[in-house]
Amino acid sequence: MPDAIVVGAGLAGLCCARELHAAGLEVLVLERGDAPGGRVRTDEVDGFLLDRGFQVLLTAYPEARRTLDNERLRLRPFESGALIRRDGGFARIADPFRHPLQAVQSLRGAPGSLPDKLRVARLRRRLSRFSLNELLTAPQVTTAEALRLEGFSGALIDAFFRPFLGGVFLDPTLDTSSRLFAFVFKLFSEGEATLPAAGMQAIPRQLAESLPEAALRFGATVESAVPGEVVLAGGERLAAPAIVVAADGPEAARLTGAVEAPAARAVTTLSYAAGRSPVGEPVRVLNGESRGPVNDLCVLSDVAPSYAPPGASLVSVTVLGVPPLADADIDGAVREQLRGWFGAQVNGWSLLRVHRIPFALPAQPPAALTPAERPVRVREGLFVCGDHRDTASIQGAMTSGRRAAAAVRGLDAAPSCAL
């Protein structure tokens, strides 16, 4: 009998299992999918690396720093800053997180740009004085309210903050907690956004490598989890003194009955093969016009050339939510908008895949982040981890896994989360 069974081989489950294994415990990870990664998966299609939804690794994530071997991931950085589509052209915004004084200056024609510049600089200075833990326990409002309270102009919010943060939180309304805004602002200002050369799934693959092969069982769907035992689809029963449910929030709620199912943030990503890059630099392009289906796009092969075969480019387009449209219709709407941005070259792109992700992130309005670090012990012998226990991010998922491992080992006297 293993010492612990972990349900789910996403980042949280892998980090938990890795910690337990390193502490000398025998661990078995049960994953319903066919590979490690959960929401961080990459498919190879015709020589292109297609992440299941656009996402990036921030090098400033403390948990990634402590756990991952970045050199082996061969991280490729995005250029800081962004191009913003507005008024029929593209404006460049230098990195507002690291170089706030240049940043707003470079957003040509933005009304109120001087006060905005000073406000960004002031906010950056203030946030740099606090640790992540302090920011995640600070009083909170929604991000939209926080931006208003900081005094940012509507022009800067609509042209930059809404598409940028909307794309990070998958939340165009910016109802997300201001704790997450401060978290993201600080991390973007202290490190780089990157892609591993072999695709985002290189991250969970590296975590899985630190476990013995026999510790990972794929194609194993858990139907019920109680202290001491799990039951698989098909009826097989497996016992262990500690059961850790590392599934996404809604599934963890179903399996344990002890955590609340979070609301979903959804996203759709369209991947296109292009003969040449429409952007020509490793930078995000944000829709600052507040209309059309596209929130942002990026030519991933401009960031990491390994994402496309030689002579081709990979364009990744993010649409927030999952519109109830067939592939051809959403493709048509996206191309129509992008023809306005890049002209007729868009007609020559070929659609590689549409990824619809109805549950991409748990919604994290202020109430969901109270507190930001939520308990991982359900009751004696039953634990949970995942991004629904922490910030909805790679950092949050990984940290929650480590916290659950500590709780299994009795090192964490945190309260239980039973409803």
Ligand X SMILES: Cc1cc2nc3c(=O)[nH]c(=O)nc-3n(C[C@H](O)[C@H](O)[C@H](O)COP(=O)(O)OP(=O)(O)OC[C@H]3O[C@@H](n4cnc5c(N)ncnc54)[C@H](O)[C@@H]3O)c2cc1C
Close Cβ partners of 234 (under 8 Å, ≥ 6 residues apart)? none
User: What is the distance between the alpha carbons of residues 355 and 386, in angstroms, rounded to a whole number?
Assistant: 22
Q: Does residue number 392 form part of the binding site for ligand X (CB under 6 A)? A: yes
Rounded CA separation 293/111 (Å): 25
- 318's tokens: 């993010």
Helix (H) or strand (E) holding 194: strand 193-196
Residue 167 interacts with ligand X (CB under 6 A): yes or no: no
Rounded to 10 deg, the angle between the 178-190 and 143-150 helix axes is: 70
**Closer residue to ligand X in complex, CB, 50/273:** 50
Residue nearer to ligand X on the CB measure, 110 or 232: 232
Please report whether residue 259 would count as binding ligand X according to CB under 6 A.
no
393 near ligand X, judged by CB under 6 A: yes
Among 2, 27, 38, 403, binds ligand X (CB under 6 A): 38
> Is 12 near ligand X (CB under 6 A)?
yes
**Distance from the Cα of residue 178 to its chain's centroid:** 17
Cα torsion for 386, 196, 185, 284, to the nearest 10°? Answer: -120
Query: 39 or 86, CB closer to ligand X?
Result: 39
**Residue 33 found at the interface with ligand X (CB under 6 A):** yes
194 counts as binding ligand X under rule CB under 6 A: no
DSSP letter string over 16-46? Answer: HHHHHHHTT--EEEEESSSSTTTT--EEEET
The verdict on 39 binding ligand X (CB under 6 A) reads yes
Report the C-alpha gap between 317 and 272 in whole angstroms. Answer: 8
**Of the residues 2, 4, 8, 93, which one makes contact with ligand X according to CB under 6 A:** 8
- Judged by CB under 6 A, which stretch of 142-150, 156-164, 247-255, 289-297 contacts ligand X? 247-255
Q: Which of 4, 11, 132, 259 binds ligand X (CB under 6 A)?
A: 11
Q: Is 222 in the site for ligand X (CB under 6 A)?
A: yes
DSSP state letter for 172: T
Which among 233, 231, 256 has a CA at the least distance from the CA of 246?
Answer: 256
Residue 202 in contact with ligand X, rule: CB under 6 A: no
Choose between 112 and 323: whose C-beta lies nearer to ligand X.
323
**In the range 57-116, which residues lie near ligand X by CB under 6 A?**
none
State the minimum distance, in angstroms, from the CB of residue 387 to ligand X: 4
Which residue intervals of 257-349 are DSSP H helices? 300-303, 327-342
**109: amino acid identity, one letter:** G
Binds ligand X by CB under 6 A, chosen from 251, 289, 296, 302: 251
Show the site string, 353-372: x = touches ligand X by CB under 6 A, - = not.
Answer: ----x--xx-----------
Residue 9 as a binder of ligand X (CB under 6 A): the answer is yes
CB-nearer residue toward ligand X: 8 or 100: 8
> Which residues is 225 bridged to in the sheet?
230
Residue 171 interacting with ligand X (CB under 6 A) = no
Count, residues near ligand X per rule CB under 6 A: 34
- Rounded to a whole number of angstroms, the minimum distance from the CB of residue 8 to ligand X is 3
- Beta-bridge mates of residue 356: 268
Q: Which stretch binds ligand X (CB under 6 A): 11-19, 74-82, 94-102, 281-289?
A: 11-19
Does the CA dihedral 36-37-43-44 come out positive or negative? negative
What is the spatial distance between Cα 407 and Cα 381, in angstroms, rounded to a whole number? Answer: 10
Would you state the structure tokens that stand for residue 169, as one six-digit string? 């939180």
**φ, ψ (nearest 5 deg) of residue 297:** -145, 165
- Closest separation between CB of residue 192 and ligand X, Å? 13
Which burial class, exposed, middle or buried, applies to 128 when counting CB atoms under 10 A from its CB (0-12, 13-18, 19+)?
A: exposed
Closest approach of Cβ 65 to ligand X, in Å? Answer: 13
Give the nearest distance from C-beta 209 to ligand X in angstroms.
17
- Residues near ligand X (CB under 6 A) are 7-13, 30-33, 38-40, 53, 55-56, 221-222, 246-248, 251, 267, 357, 360-361, 386-387, 392-395, 397
